[in-house]
C-alpha cells in the first residue's frame, strides 16, 4: 500500500520531500514500539529533540535508530527532523556529536534550530553552510579520530568517534539535507524567510492563535516549489489548554483534538502538523482525523468564533499574543 493511501501527504515546500501531513514527535513520551506502529500506519515524518525535553524524546530514540540509522533497510522512506534548542550555532559540533552518537545516523533530512530568538546573520549563515557541507563533516569526523589515546575519556571518545564514523560515506552531502527553524515570534520568522536561509519553517497555529494567517502566511501561500516547507505546532495543545483556563468547559460544544487538527489542515501551506500522541489509541484517533481531511466551513467558523471568545476573555489581543 502506498503512503498516500494510508494518510494524506504533501510536498514539503521547495525541499521536494514527500511527507505525511501527520508528523510525530516524542514530546509526550511516545515509546519506540508505538513510533514504529505509527510508521506502519502511514506516518513518515519524525521529529526528535537532542536536548530540550530530551527525557521524553529519548523514549523514541531506539525507533529512530532502527528506522533512520546508517544500517536501516528502508531509510529513504522516513523523513527525520532533528532539532536542537542550543542557543548559538557555534556550539554546533557538540549538538552533532549528541545526535550522531545517540541515533547512529549518517545524516538527517532536516536539521532544525528550535525556538529561534536571534536575527539571521553571518554566524547562522556559516553554521547552515557547515551543516550542508560534506567536507566539513569529514573534517569533524577526523578531529574526533585524533583524540589523544590513553586519556581518561578514551573509551567514550572512541565510541563517539565510531558513531560519527558512519558519516564517512557521505561524499557529496553534509549532515543535513535541509535546514529549518521554529519560531514563536512571527515577525522574526518573517525576517528569516526574507533572508532566504531556511528550507523549512515551523510555526504555531490553532483557533486561538491565528496570527499566522496575516504574517508570515501570505509569504507561504504559494506553490510548494516557490516557498519553504511549513510545519505547524501547538495545533491541538496550544488551544485546548485555554478551555480549562477560561472556564469554558460548560459550553454546549467544545472541539475534540480531531477537530483542532482538521481545523489546521485547512491551511493550504500546512505541509506537516506535528502531533505528540502518548499511546496507540491516540495514534489511531489522529490517523482517523487526518484521513477525514480539513474541517468543513461550518464547524471551522464555529472554532474561529470560540477562539475569538477565548482571546476576548483572556485579554490575549491586548497582550499581543497572536
* Chain segment 44-62, per-residue pLDDT in tens: 999 999 998 889 999 999 9
Instruction: Please state, in angstroms and rounded to a whole number, the distance separating the CA atoms of residues 25 and 45.
Output: 9
Instruction: Please state, in angstroms and rounded to a whole number, the distance separating the CA atoms of residues 213 and 273.
Output: 16
Does any domain span residue 108?
yes
pTM of the model: 0.89
The domain in which residue 75 lies consists of 3-132+174-319
Closest Cα partner for 211 from 111, 296, 311? Answer: 311
Does any domain span residue 158?
no
pLDDT in tens, 223-244: 999 999 999 999 998 777 776 6
Q: Which three cell numbers stand for residue 219?
A: 509569504
Q: Is the pLDDT of residue 167 over 50?
A: no
Bridge partners, residue 181, by sequence: 113, 201
Does any domain span residue 112?
yes
CATH number reported for the structural domain that contains residue 59 in this entry:
3.20.20.100
Does any domain span residue 137?
no
Number of compact structural domains in the chain: 1
Place 17 in a pLDDT band, splitting at 50, 70 and 90. Answer: very high
Does any domain span residue 149?
no
Does any domain span residue 223?
yes
| Residue 73: CB atoms within 10 Å | 8
Does any domain span residue 148?
no
Does any domain span residue 104?
yes
Q: What's the whole-number mean pLDDT along residues 121-127?
A: 90
Amino acid at each position: 500500500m502506498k503512503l498516500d493511501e494510508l494518510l494524506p501527504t504533501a510536498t514539503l515546500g521547495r525541499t521536494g520531500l514527500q511527507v505525511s501531513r501527520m508528523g510525530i514527535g516524542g514530546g509526550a513520551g511516545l515509546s519506540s514500539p508505538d513510533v514504529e506502529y505509527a510508521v506502519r500506519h502511514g506516518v513518515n515524518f519524525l521529529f526528535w529533540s537532542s536536548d530540550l525535553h530530551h527525557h521524553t524524546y529519548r523514549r523514541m530514540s531506539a525507533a529512530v535508530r532502527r528506522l533512520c540509522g546508517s544500517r536501516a533497510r528502508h531509510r529513504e522512506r522516513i523523513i527525520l527532523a532533528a532539532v536542537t534548542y542550543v542557543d548559538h550555532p557555534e556550539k554546533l559540533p557538540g549538538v552533532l556529536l549528541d545526535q550522531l552518537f545517540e541515533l547512529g545516523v549518517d545524516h538527517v533530512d532536516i536539521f532544525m534550530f528550535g525556538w529561534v530568538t536571534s536575527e539571521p546573520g553571518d554566524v547562522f549563515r556559516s553554521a547552515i553552510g557547515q551543516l550542508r557541507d560534506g567536507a566539513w563533516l569529514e573534517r569533524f569526523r577526523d578531529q574526533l579520530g585524533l583524540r589523544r589515546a590513553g586519556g581518561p575519556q578514551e573509551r567514550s571518545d572512541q565510541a563517539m568517534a565510531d558513531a560519527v564514523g558512519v558519516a564517512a560515506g557521505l561524499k557529496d552531502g553534509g549532515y543535513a539535507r535541509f535546514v529549518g527553524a521554529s519560531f514563536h515570534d512571527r515577525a522574526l520568522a518573517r525576517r528569516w524567510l526574507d533572508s532566504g536561509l531556511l528550507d523549512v519553517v515551523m510555526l504555531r497555529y490553532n483557533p486561538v492563535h491565528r496570527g499566522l494567517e496575516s504574517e508570515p502566511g501570505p509569504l507561504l501561500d504559494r506553490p510548494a516549489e516557490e516557498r519553504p516547507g511549513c510545519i505547524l505546532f501547538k495545533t491541538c495543545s496550544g488551544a485546548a489548554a485555554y478551555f480549562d483556563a477560561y472556564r469554558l468547559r460548560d459550553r454546549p460544544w467544545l472541539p475534540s483534538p480531531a477537530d483542532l487538527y482538521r481545523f489546521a489542515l485547512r491551511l493550504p501551506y500546512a505541509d506537516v502538523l506535528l502531533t505528540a500522541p502518548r499511546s496507540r489509541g491516540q495514534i489511531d484517533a489522529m490517523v482517523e482525523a487526518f484521513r477525514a481531511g480539513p474541517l468543513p466551513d461550518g464547524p471551522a467558523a464555529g472554532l474561529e468564533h470560540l477562539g475569538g471568545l477565548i482571546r476576548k476573555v483572556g485579554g490575549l489581543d491586548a497582550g499581543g499574543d497572536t
